[in-house]
C-alpha cells in the first residue's frame, strides 16, 4: 500500500477534523492503514509547551510534518487536520515529503470565517469576541490561505460525506486510493 500525507488546512471550526475522520473511516473500510494526526492531540502530547507565536506555530507544524512523513513513508495514509496558518511552514513540510519521495496533498478547507464563527466548535470565536483570548487564526492573527492547493473544499456548500468523497476522488485520481 502506498502511504501519503493529506494535510487539511483551514480556519478553526472549518470542518478539517470532521472531514478527516469521515475519510479515515472510508479508507479503513477499504483496508487502508490510516492515522489522523489531530492538531489538538499533537499539541497535548508532541508539542506541549509550545505557544502560539509564529515561531512556535512553525515548530509545531514541522514536528507534525516529520511524523506524518515518517508514517506515510511506511505505507500509512496520514490525515492531518491542522490549521498550519503560514504558507512557508506548509511549504517546508511539502519539501520534506518531496525530498523523501513521499506523496503529499494539501487540501484547503476554505470555510469563510463568518461560517466558522457560527459553528464555533470549541467556543474560540466567542472567547475572542469577549476579549478572553487573542491571536485567533483568521480573526486577529494571520491565516495565509493556500494559493494552489491540490483540492479546495467549500464545506459550507456540501455535506461532510460529499467533502470526504471529493477528497477520496482526488486520492483515487492520484493513484493513492
pLDDT in tens, 39-93: 888 988 888 889 888 999 999 999 999 999 999 999 999 999 999 999 999 999 9
- Alpha-carbon distance values, 2 to 72, 75, 106 (Å): 8, 5, 17
Give the sign of the dihedral formed by CA 169, CA 170, CA 175, CA 177. negative
Entry pTM: 0.94
Q: What is the mean pLDDT of the chain?
A: 94
Cβ atoms of 13 and 120 within 8 Å: the answer is: yes
Q: In this structure, what are the phi and psi dihedrals at residue 81, rounded to the nearest 5 degrees?
A: -85, 80
* DSSP H/E element including 50: none
pLDDT at 7: 98
C-alpha cell at 108: 484547503
Which residues, in sequence order, are CB contacts of 32 under 8 Å at separation 6+? 1, 77, 177
Once rounded to an integer, what is the mean pLDDT over residues 101-118? 96
Amino acid at each position: 500500500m502506498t502511504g501519503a500525507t493529506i494535510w487539511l488546512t483551514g480556519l478553526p471550526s472549518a470542518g478539517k477534523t470532521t472531514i478527516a475522520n469521515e475519510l479515515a473511516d472510508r479508507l479503513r473500510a477499504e483496508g487502508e492503514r490510516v492515522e489522523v494526526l489531530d492538531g489538538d492531540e499533537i499539541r497535548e502530547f508532541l508539542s506541549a509547551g509550545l505557544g502560539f507565536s509564529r515561531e512556535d506555530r512553525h515548530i509545531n507544524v514541522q514536528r507534525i510534518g516529520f511524523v506524518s512523513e515518517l508514517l506515510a513513508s511506511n505505507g500509512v495514509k496520514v490525515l492531518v487536520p491542522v490549521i498550519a496558518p503560514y504558507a512557508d511552514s506548509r511549504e517546508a513540510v511539502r519539501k520534506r515529503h518531496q525530498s523523501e519521495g513521499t506523496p503529499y496533498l494539501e487540501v484547503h478547507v476554505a470555510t469563510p470565517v463568518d461560517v466558522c464563527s457560527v459553528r464555533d466548535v470549541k467556543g474560540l470565536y466567542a472567547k475572542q469576541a469577549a476579549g478572553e483570548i487573542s491571536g485567533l487564526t483568521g480573526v486577529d492573527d494571520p491565516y495565509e490561505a493556500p494559493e494552489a492547493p491540490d483540492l479546495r473544499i467549500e464545506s459550507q456548500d456540501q455535506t461532510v460525506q460529499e467533502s470526504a468523497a471529493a477528497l477520496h476522488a482526488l486520492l483515487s485520481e492520484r493513484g493513492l486510493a
